[in-house]
Amino acid sequence: MTGAAAPASGRDAVVASDGPPALRFPYDASALTDAPLRTERLVLRPLEASDAPDVFEYQRLAEGIRYLPWPERDRVEAYEHTAKRAAGRLLAGDGDFVVFAAILLGEPSIDDAARDRVIGDFMVRVSSVQHAQLELGWVLHPDFQGRGPAREAAGAVMDFAFETLRPPRLQAFLDARNAASAALCERLGMRREATILEEEYHDGEWTDTAVYGVLRREWAAARC
């Protein structure tokens, strides 16, 4: 057979595209406000300052923030915190982030029944532009846990990140005691890659960090 090789397609194309770090940056997530991610039950669009009443409903609960690096905040502090997180739009440098509000269709918002409710949020943060490393993070209101929306939302954000931003892998860093979050990582196809002993000091004790990750080619293979 002669002539040029046919272009790679499907999974082959994804594997062939592995190479030097090449994030599709800068990326402005503002466009996702009008063209949000959608799943069976949820809409995911960038967090807005006006989501603060719904976010406060899970941010104010000790069980919701136990394994998050968030101090207890009163309403005013929490609303300011949500406004800061809602400002994340442009992904261009280390530490940049966008937070997706997970909106449950048909569930009325806490302060405005005309809007659907934000029941959790899902973050993509840039760990390293040089090495094209992105990190995922999440929180879901306890009233909606145990029903699958975290898997649904995190899966959609993972698909968005791999397809649009093109990292070679996605990773998550958890308090190693956080069994619910570890189980979510595993449902998403992530593997436990490391346990870093006594990496952080919280509330009078040293805590271990679990590192989870999935490679782009593993994610692509799981979708075939």
Ligand X SMILES: CC(C)(COP(=O)(O)OP(=O)(O)OC[C@H]1O[C@@H](n2cnc3c(N)ncnc32)[C@H](O)[C@@H]1OP(=O)(O)O)[C@@H](O)C(=O)NCCC(=O)NCCS
For binding to ligand X (CB under 6 A), which residues are involved? 64, 67-68, 137-140, 145-151, 174, 178, 180-181, 183-184
CB of 136 to ligand X, least distance (A): 9
Please state the separation of Cα 145 from the chain's center in Å: 16
Is 17 or 178 the residue whose CB approaches ligand X more closely?
178
**Phi (first) and psi of residue 23, to 5 degrees:** -65, 145
Amino acid identity of residue 223, one-letter, is: R
CB of 1 to ligand X, least distance (A): 47
Token pair 């990326």 in the structure block, residue: 27
By Cβ distance, which residue is nearest to ligand X? 148
CB of 181 to ligand X, least distance (A): 4
CB of 175 to ligand X, least distance (A): 6
CA–CA separation, 86 and 52 (whole Å): 9
Contacts of 219 (CB under 8 A, 6+ apart): 158, 162, 170, 189
Is 32 or 157 the residue whose CB approaches ligand X more closely?
157
CA–CA separation, 168 and 132 (whole Å): 7
The CA-to-CA distance between both ends of the chain, in Å, stands at 28
Is 164 or 207 the residue whose CB approaches ligand X more closely?
207
Is 147 or 191 the residue whose CB approaches ligand X more closely?
147
